[in-house]
Structure 1
């Protein structure tokens, strides 16, 4: 054999091209599935890392999906409208891999923000189990502490689901998980609440008929499914009580007109609901029990020292309740701007999950639909919700005479475990007093 046969060629090896699957990530809410809303790329398109490639709808919001790779799209594995389980492959990419000299090296996936831990059985590395021996400083395997041992033995679930179970007083040990490999899901927890609180009544047998032109059937999923589950859990967990107050809000409507014309509120979308919301925030200082939470598992009442004010927003995908963080620290103009921004995002379907969690009290404006009063259902985990009806021009007693005045009805629902009737009445009366005469705020703050 000649010497030339043993002389290695000298050239730069080309990077190998690899096919990578992109699996539907856990988007940080512990959800087990999402619906593909739309793809923003097509097969054959070149994409960059973190380029938005599509949109998915969770049970809380529409979320944009960034690409985990720089490369080319070779397959889209789910169609718009299809509901996909977390961890299922939804797209494939061709990406430049390592050169031949590094093909034996372990493959590392990009750390996509919000990707979350993947279910077992995927091609991603599993999360390492915690070694209690290393924590204890011993080479032998140590027994975990008793409080942690209970955590290890409980059924598999995600942190948000465990929190929901804690809030609703559900023992995870008695819940049968229906998710992948026995994972306990949010629906499993809510179903347990419904099973324990509502007697099971056999439904009457109705002749099944195929859907035709006389009816429309819509799958229950996404925002509508989440809202329904939350309302059922709230209605059968917290003992609701309601109170109503009708007030002469003429002074408030006149104030609203003056503020809209002032330079300080130029460009600010100021509405009657913003004024009522501000009155709520002021009244809460004298009635803090309405801004609290019942922790069933810990047998504690959690008193919040901040207010994350939620407000009901109707969207094409259903009702959502975003909340303004630390609303009690905002000026009237800042509050109005925050509400307008969140409401706009909700209508467009691009509101983030963080804006839909962590609320402490809620306001809903049923007056925009021409309704005077109602009995709103509490947002799960909150102590109170205030509904404001329409402002109507009605005959009303004013300074000893009958005059046409702007009249408004307030409807307050509250958790009677947390709020006594006296506290609820004082809060409602304070809100009404502010709307009747905004000047009384000087005596409250």
Structure 2
């Protein structure tokens, strides 16, 4: 249940094949390439289901699901509105941060109820068949691969598989405990109707599943005979471990408070044995990447569009890097290539429609192993503590030789339990089965939660 690449079957459609021209032919053309190599597939963990999402010429999103010998296609005419509503509601965290001060805050509870009800509609649109039975996915699927075109965003993370809450539903009284343990001893004891009185955080798929996400460009936009896809990094047997805490390069927008920038810098220094460099501009960033060959890149940028309406990342004092100018030199060293993890946590966004998914694709194409980014704009005051928590989870996973997918699941639960609901807007691109390791992690004590 793993997508390696997608192909297009191209042919003329005629009312009668007798009228086909002499040169008519059926062609099978490469559409997208998810993996750069087919090596080591036997050693990989299987997925419960693999999904391919794309948007048709009529603007409707379509999903193909693959599990075992079963294939199912679904047209998702009614999911765009729930997705838009969820994006808009999440953006309120950035505009009214004081209202979302902890997990029990009224605004946080209202947000979770809203997302649960919208996520339930999304779940019904994707999972349920017209007769109400499970189709593409079921509640037992814990490992899911999603491949989508860059423009087709399907937020599986927001799917809510518990009964849709009532308008007056409250947060589960054992929500914090459920997030800490991964099990809800309250909601699991209730029948279907009784569950509607509560919002259980474990009902969200981002809190209960490992979702491996790939946003890919069509081959028509990428030259496969060149080196771009050769740089896209995937784990294979014998080379499936990222020494994620060996060295870091870090930059932030000047819109983030200096005290918070320094706080994250101290965290990175602690976990990398002080092998971290904070840079003020993109030229220095590129030089630092080439000289330090970092294992982790941390960006808390401002996002906007440049003079030609190209989405751009801004660090320091108005230092911009447009999407089309992101190259391998900004991602990894030319010598001793080691794929880094990229944390791309955008602070307040000048253009609400700037797609972070596009930046993630660029970093992945040019050699990043994994890119973690935000679905909606966030404040630096939220992005920095989430980045600190993620570094802590990476440290834990590295000591245990765990996977990035497990580390991200732990981050989401811990951050929401700590009252940081913006963690719901985090999405990861790349292979969830990268194992994490580091000699530094073995030397640095892990703080207990």
Work out whether the TM-score is over 0.5: no
Tell which structure's C-alpha radius of gyration is larger: 1
> Taking structure 2 as the reference length, what is the TM-score of the superposition?
0.24
Tell me the TM-score normalized by structure 1: 0.24
